[in-house]
Amino acid sequence: MQNQPALDQSGSEPIQGGGYNAPVESSKNFIFRHKKPVVILIVLGVLLLAVALAVILIFFKKPSPDLAAKVGDQKITLTQVDKFANECFLEQKEATEYLVDDIVLSQWAGDEKITIAEEEQKSEEVRVGGFQIQPCHATLAKVNLFREKLSQNTTNFREGKFIVVNFGRFANPNPMTITEETSDVNRAQKLQEEKAYAQNLINSIYQDLKKGQLSFEGAIEEVNKDPKVGIESYYDTSFQSGSFTAEGYLGKTGLLADDSIRKKVDSLKEGEISEPFIGQADIAPCAISDSDCQPEYADARFLIAKVEKIGKGEGKEDEILSQTRQKYNAKIYLK
């Protein structure tokens, strides 16, 4: 019987001429070694599929039927929308947008350190609610004011101050109450006297401004304290000297509702003041119920305008509002 070659300790078989054959790998080890990468790929594929399904469920899950909108984690339900819409006589979609913007713009205002003055809020509540102010009108007013402030970032605007010297109380040829002072002869005389006083005052102030002898703020204080035209005179309820804001400029409110005054403001450069000019007033306001009444305008005040800031925004207001909603993760589901 032929002798079999001996194996060394490693299990390799010596071959002729020296050396050894490679060790023989078992079929079990061979299969396991080559299937291992495939198993890993399958496991990874299953995990990726599970993650993808989870993302789809999170982002494309249908909202609850009672959900009208969300801002972050705050939910706005259809019940809230309907209550708000009924109180303020709004359509569902508009009511939803107001409730969303109440949250979004409050967060934006907090981040930008923007506030609403109490008198601004009250004035806007009266404007939107009239004589029957409801709780919802406070929200409408706040959102309207914040939307205006947001629009400063989107629209060119101006801010500044007016010096106002009123003189037009005798301009109405048909006053509600006829007195000795308001008879035709005396009325014309009184009107001329007050206009002359106002013109002398405004011209004197303008000369002092040009010479640098009086600041614009000092001029405002001087006029407001004047016993004949200031805030403690007959004209206490008329437009007085003071600031105009970007909101007033954009909304065309107050003195800036007059296009001729607005054009004067638009003609000024930043830091520039105008020469004195005349502004008009409606001397015979119409009653709300009188649809046939036509306003009657007459010269009623002298003004000097100063532009202190010209803002240059970009984009459209509705686009910026939409972008702001996105920034604060607002979603409106109601169509």
23-43 per-position pLDDT tens digit: 555 555 544 455 556 667 777
Q: What is residue 205's predicted lDDT score, i.e. its pLDDT?
A: 98
CA atoms within 13 A on the CB side of 67: 14
Residue 18 has pLDDT above 60, yes or no: no
Share of the chain above pLDDT 90, in %: 55
314 pLDDT above the threshold of 60: no
Mean pLDDT for the chain? 83
Cα 115 to Cα 311: distance, rounded to the nearest angstrom: 19
Does pLDDT of 228 surpass 90?
A: yes
**The pair of three-digit structure tokens given for residue 38, joined into one six-digit string:** 């495939």
Entry pTM? 0.50
How far apart, in whole angstroms, are the C-alpha atoms of residue 27 and residue 146? Answer: 77
Burial grade of 54 (CB within 10 A; 0-12, 13-18, 19 or more) = exposed
pLDDT in tens, 134-143: 899 999 999 9
